Structure 1
Amino acid sequence: MTQRLPPSLTPLDTALAALLSGLEPLSPVELPLSEAAGCIAAGTPLLAAHPHHDIAAADGWALCANDLVGASSYSPLPLPQAPAWVEAGDTMPAGCDCVLDADAVDASGPLVQVLAEGGPGQGVRRGGSDIAERTPAGAEGQPVVAADLLLARIAGLDKLGVRRPRLRIVNVPGATATMHMIAGIARAAGLDVKTCEASARDAVAIADALDTSSCDLILSVGGSGVGRGDATVTALAQRGQVIAHGLALQPGRTAAVAKIGKVPVVALPGSPDHALAAWLALVLPLVDRLSARRPRRRVILPLARKIASSVGIAEIALLAREQHAWMPLAVGEWPLQAIAGADAWLLIPDRDEGFAAGVPIDAYLMRE
């Protein structure tokens, strides 16, 4: 029997609220630094100061800057004894606060002479200058980035505390390219992603693949439309509770949302543009709740030209950054080249008719 979407589509806010209801942040786990990139920092330790004391930042002669005032090649300053030679990374000798280059000291004659002045801190890395005492190893609630990993490694850590949702993606045969796109986006967002493929497009095969035993969130890709071979919603009904099938969201109208036990499930359409829109509007809020992520950064720029939208349905616009403004690339329907060229996205609420040219728009970045 051919499936039919309900005549009244479920508002996006209603579907999302039902998915988020009762969903709590995950407990932090410790991951090796090599696996922590992109995950959301949680319970990060406070680092000790680094370097622990002043060290040489370059090879040269260790001296006290106050003792070198007036020294030059025209007026060499004799020293009572040869200064200490240090290599980069060596602890600075007591009483020394600068390092002069090798040719700034003449030790060829009977007297050692300094041929240049030095400033306090010249050629020296001060204690705590790289890492201040009690610096957190990553910003709580924010993605772990390369700079966080660098600080952790310098401080001698081999693990970091993070929240990392476990995502299971079920591919319905025929949507493989879209599944790989979503899996790549999810991995880049720091999720622990496992993929599998239903053995067939029928409800029994899809239901068998909807295994919640080792995941915090399930996505299915494909089979959520109204065609005769679209059996994902039937499979969801066999395994759990279907919250909505058919959303007032464009692209993404044929997406479905459900719960199997306490695990939220989003059935993404097989079309890349509709799947990506449902990912942005439905899945990212779930990931952020599970990760206890702080609000995502938005960039405010004026709109280069107007955006028209239909009242009664939420639409997502793709935007490109051009000359300090947001240029609309696509609204409601997305060509693949618009997806490839988009720098940001904007959710237009179902109550709005769009935005006039020149209006400041706060858009989410596609790549943070």
Structure 2
Amino acid sequence: MTQRLPSSLTPLEIALAALLNGLEPVAPVELPLTDAAGCIAVGTPLLAAHPPHDIAAADGFALCANDLVGASSYSPLPLTKVPQWVEAGEAMPAGCDCVLDADAVEVAGPLAQVLAEGVPGQDVRRAGSDMAERTPAGAEGCPVGAADLLLARVAGLEKLAVRRPRLRIVNVPGATATMHMIAGIAHAAGLGVETRQSGARDQASIAEVLDASSCDLLLTVGGSGVGHGDASVMALAQRGEVLAHGLALQPGRTAAVGRLGRIPVVALPGSPDPALAVWLALVLPLVDHLSARRPRRQMILPLARKIASSVGIAEMALLSLEHHAWMPLAVGEWPLHAIARADAWLLIPASHEGFAAGTSVDAYLMRA
């Protein structure tokens, strides 16, 4: 079937290409560990081995296992001196390779006897067992996660080098709930997020707060409707350049893209479902490019039932993971309960009529 696009709508790939044109990744910055969470790692440092030496993994007496062969409660092994007591986490004394419980050693004044054998490494954490020499603190181009932060803290690091694009969100009155949703998602994605409030829904009020002087990406939320409600788009045209208004994307038809100087701008609709769809399909690729992030994780599974789509416009489908298959929850229109249940999303190209049940599709995870 020949693909036909509504003349007023811009294909998603053309809008994205226009925004990416000339756009470079942001420069790395060093951030405290608590601020680096979720940001994209750059030039990850190589850490020293941990623990740096053998340590006790439990409280007890430090001994050498080879010296305890044959010791038992029926044949106690006398010692020439009381063995050293160690607490969990303390360095093992030289020549000792096991820790015995308190009841395995009888002590009477200066005399001691052992009532059990030991095994080399018993209740001992070996040097380098937690973290080998030159272990990287994270992976280049990947988000800094909780495990990466743990390794960095254990190694004594205070900062990590990351890329964290600066995002400014302009909220248009009437879209506050959607703005908070987008801001929360952006913060979790490792962006530096700043929000501003337009005084009213008119063009002049929105244009007054459209300032891209200290950000890498600017979003407006609300006021992008085609017709009388497109004040955000008119404000963008006043302050900068509108590259496209109206995308061949459902949900998300009324979104717009443009620039303020060299800074890309995306005008999101005020309703949560089209705003989220445009964030996933258009804004995330921008964020990933600015962050020099590795490709996001996808999961290939068969569809539990068919997805029907209209030729001529890209449609977004929400999916849930059920019995090792993708179950379609919503296509084109996203009720809030479907958004809440979704595990993944799928972009159906404008040239496709959908997918038959059982077709394996490559979906992006919502929380990747």
Normalising TM by the smaller chain, what interval?
over 0.9
Q: Is 2:344–2:363's contact at 8 Å kept on the other side of the alignment?
A: yes
CA distance in 2, matches of 1:343, 1:68: 56
What residue number does 1:79 align with? 79
- Matches of 1:110 and 1:160 in 2, distance apart? 52
Task: Say whether the 8 Å CA contact 2:226–2:246 is kept in structure 1.
Answer: no
Question: Could you report, residue by residue, the CA deviation over 1:28-65 in whole angstroms, capped at 9, with x for unpaired residues?
Answer: 10111111111111122111111111111111111112
**2:315 is equivalent to residue 315 of structure 1:** yes
Distance in 2 between the 1:183 and 1:83 partners?
Answer: 59
Structure 1 partner of 2:3: none
Q: Which residue does the alignment assign to 1:132?
A: 132
Structure 2 unaligned blocks of 5 or more? 1-5
Residues 255-303 of structure 1: CA distance to partner in whole angstroms, max 9, x if unpaired? 1010111100000011110000000000000100111111111122221
The Cα offsets for residues 326-363 of structure 1, whole Å up to 9 and x where unpaired, read as: 11000000111101111111111111111111122221
Does the 8 A contact of 1:319 with 1:346 survive in 2?
Answer: yes
Contact 1:28 1:43 in 2 (8 A): no
Rounded to whole Å, the distance in 2 between the matches of 1:254 and 1:283 is 15
The alignment status of 1:296 with 2:296, answered yes or no, reads: yes
Residues 70, 354 of structure 1: alpha-carbon distance in 2 compared, 3 angstrom cutoff: farther
User: Tell me, what secondary structure is at the counterpart of 1:252?
Assistant: coil
Post-superposition, which runs of at least 4 consecutive aligned residues in structure 1 deviate over 6 A? Answer: none
Contact kept in structure 1, 2:311 and 2:350, CA below 8 Å: yes
Partners of 2:76 and 2:115 within 8 A in 1: yes
- Computed over aligned residues only, the root mean square deviation of the Cα atoms, in angstroms, reads 1.5
For 2:15 and 2:30, locate their aligned partners in 1 and report how far apart those are by CA, in whole Å.
33
Describe the shift of the 1:110–1:255 C-alpha distance in structure 2 as closer, same or farther (beyond 3 A).
Answer: closer
Distance across 2 between alignment mates of 1:56 and 1:313: 64
Report if aligned partners of 1:168, 1:215 keep a CA contact under 8 Å in 2.
yes
**Cα separation, 2, equivalents of 1:105 and 1:12:** 74
What CA distance in whole angstroms lies between the structure 1 residues aligned with 2:8 and 2:68?
84
Classify the secondary structure of the residue corresponding to 1:284: helix
Q: Which residue of 2 aligns with 1:45?
A: 45
What is the aligned partner in structure 2 of residue 3 from structure 1?
none
Tell whether the 8 Å contact from 2:170 to 2:210 is kept in structure 1 after alignment: yes
Report matched runs for 1:72-111 at 5 Å.
Answer: 72-108=72-108, 111=111
Percent of matched pairs sharing the same residue = 80
Distance (whole Å) between structure 2 residues aligned to residue 44 and residue 329 of structure 1: 39
TM-score for both structures, normalised by structure 1:
0.95
Tell me the equivalent position of 1:287.
287
Measure the CA separation in 1 of the matches of 2:337 and 2:194. Answer: 28
Task: State whether structure 2 residue 144 is matched by structure 1 residue 144.
Answer: yes
Structure 2 equivalent of residue 67 of structure 1: 67
The DSSP-based 3-state class of the residue aligned with 2:357 is coil
Letter of the 2:55 counterpart: I
TM-score using structure 2 length: 0.95
Letter of the 1:164 counterpart: R
User: Residue 27 of structure 2 aligns to which amino acid in structure 1?
Assistant: S
Q: Secondary structure at the match of 1:107?
A: strand
- 1:231 aligned partner: 231
Q: Please report how far the alpha carbon of residue 93 of structure 1 lies from its aligned counterpart in structure 2 after TM superposition.
A: 1.0
Q: How much does 1:109 deviate?
A: 7.8
Provide the rounded CA distance (Å) in 1 between the counterparts of 2:348 and 2:215. Answer: 31
Output the amino acid matched with 2:245. H
The letter for the 2-side match of 1:182 is I
| 3-state DSSP of counterpart to 1:141 | coil
Q: Equivalent residue for 1:157? A: 157
Q: Which residue of 2 aligns with 1:193?
A: 193
Letter in 1 for 2:213: S
**Matched AA of 1:256:** A
- Provide, for residues 127-147 of structure 1, a one-character-per-residue CA deviation record: whole Å limited to 9, x for no partner: 111221111111111111111
Alignment partners' CA distance in 2, 1:37 and 1:57? 30
Between the aligned partners of 2:17 and 2:74, the Cα distance in structure 1 is 78
SS at match of 2:311: coil
User: What are the within-5 Å matches in structure 2 for residues 233-312 of structure 1?
Assistant: 233-312=233-312
Query: How much does 1:78 deviate?
Result: 2.4
- C-alpha displacement of 1:80: 2.8
- For residues 103 and 201 of structure 2, the distance between their equivalents in structure 1, rounded to whole angstroms, comes to 77
Match of 2:350 in 1: 350
User: Number of matched residues?
Assistant: 364
